[in-house]
Amino acid sequence: MAKAKVCRNCGASWAYRNPNNWQQCQSCGCKHGFFRPASSKNASLQKALELTDIRHPLQANILCELIGIPGTKLRELVHEARMNGAPIGSGPKGYYLAREPDHLDFTIEHGMSRAAKIQEYVLALQQTKRFMRLGDERWKEEAFSEPSPPESPVSSASHGGMLPPPLPGELSPVPK
């Protein structure tokens, strides 16, 4: 049974019979052997995004309807495609295929911002866990109180100037 593959050089689909027999691409003629499995969902995502650019993105809900998948599966497909080198950008108006390197700037900055926010809440939860283990109950009073002026969740000032040491396997606070 032939398995569908996609040439990473030109994106053309073709079939081969032996996974160890790297044949020449029938479309561009490359012999690199850089081939990856292509599911029908991946192919549908690629076809839908080929019609987009930074000025004409597709909303996630529309992409989901076109491909016939839920939003979580769409995010998985986009992540997988990005990890394979696909220049898929995203913004407030949807997903698009970046045609220029600079068209990925917003997506990169947004991803870095999300990573920093995730690290903040992980550090805050680790701190709360340490205080809970020590029997310090201040976290109960502070956890659901009105927000105070912005302060790092790992600031030692909010807990009397002393932070318990990180537990094994925990992240250490990153200075700003």
Find how far residue 18's CA is from the centre of its chain: 33
Provide the number of structural domains found in the chain: 3
Summarize pLDDT for 6-16 with one digit per residue, the tens. Answer: 565 566 655 44
Where residue 95 sits, what CATH number does that domain have? 1.10.10.10
- Other C-beta atoms within 10 Å of 9: how many? 15
> Domain limits at 160?
102-144+151-176
Summarize pLDDT for 53-83 with one digit per residue, the tens. Answer: 999 999 999 999 988 899 999 999 999 899 8
- Per-residue burial over 29-62, b if 16 or more Cβ lie within 10 Å, else e, is eeeeeebeebeebbebbbebbeebebeebbeeee
Q: Are residues 67 and 123 in the same domain?
A: no
